Amino acid sequence: MMMLHTLLAAYLSLSSTALAAPTAVACDRDFLKAQAAAYVAAQAAGKVDTLKASSSVNYTQNFKAATLATGILSTPLKIDGNRSTYDTTQCATYTELISLQSGANHVIGTQMRFTDGELSKMETIVTSTGDWLFNPTNTLKYASQESWTEIPEAKRDTRAVIQAAGDAYLDLFNDKKVKVPWGNPCARLEGGSYVQPSCNVGVPSGIKNINRRYVIDEVFGTVDVFFSFGGNDPDSHEFRVENGKLRSGFLGLLFQVWDTSKLLHEQQL
Ligand SMILES: *[C@@H]1O[C@H](CO)[C@@H](O)[C@H](O)[C@H]1NC(C)=O
Ligand SMILES: *[C@@H]1O[C@H](CO)[C@@H](O)[C@H](O)[C@H]1NC(C)=O
In sequence order, the β-bridge partners of residue 223 are 216, 239
For residue 234, say if its preceding peptide bond is cis, omega within 30 degrees of 0.
no
pLDDT-derived band of residue 24, with 50, 70 and 90 as boundaries? low
Three-state DSSP at 131 gives coil
The string of pLDDT tens digits covering residues 42-89 is: 999 999 998 999 999 999 999 999 999 899 999 999 999 999 999 999
Answer with the residue of higher pLDDT: 37 or 148: 37
Judged by its nearest atom, the ligand closest to the C-alpha of residue 66 is: 1
**Using CA atoms, how far apart are residues 219 and 157, in angstroms rounded to an integer?**
9
Q: Tell me the C-alpha distance between 92 and 29, whole Å.
A: 10
pLDDT of residue 26: 60
Q: Is the CB of 38 under 6 A from ligand 2?
A: no
44 lines ligand 2 (CB under 6 A): yes
With residue 125 as reference, give the H or E element that holds it: strand 118-127
- The reply to whether 26-144 and 153-262 are identical in fold is yes
User: Quick one: pLDDT at residue 28?
Assistant: 95
Share of the chain above pLDDT 70, in %: 81
On whether the pTM is more than 0.95, the answer is no
Q: Is the CB of 145 under 6 A from ligand 1?
A: no
- How many angstroms separate the CA atoms of 264 and 269, rounded? 15
Sheet holding 188-190, edge to edge: 193-195, 188-190, 254-262, 233-242, 222-229, 210-217
Judge if the beta carbon of residue 100 lies within 6 A of ligand 2: no
Q: What is the CA radius of gyration of the chain?
A: 21
Tell which CATH classification among 3.10.450.50, 3.50.50.60, 3.30.465.10, 2.40.50.140 matches the domain 26-144: 3.10.450.50
> What CATH number should be reported for the domain whose range is 153-262?
3.10.450.50
Mutation probe of ligand 1 site: the residue of 60, 125, 210 with most atoms within 8 A of C-beta: 60
Give pLDDT, residue 248: 24
Domain residue ranges of the chain, discontinuous segments joined by +: 26-144, 153-262
Predicted confidence band at 143 (pLDDT cuts at 50, 70, 90)?
Answer: confident
Rounded distance from Cα 227 to ligand 1 centre (Å): 14
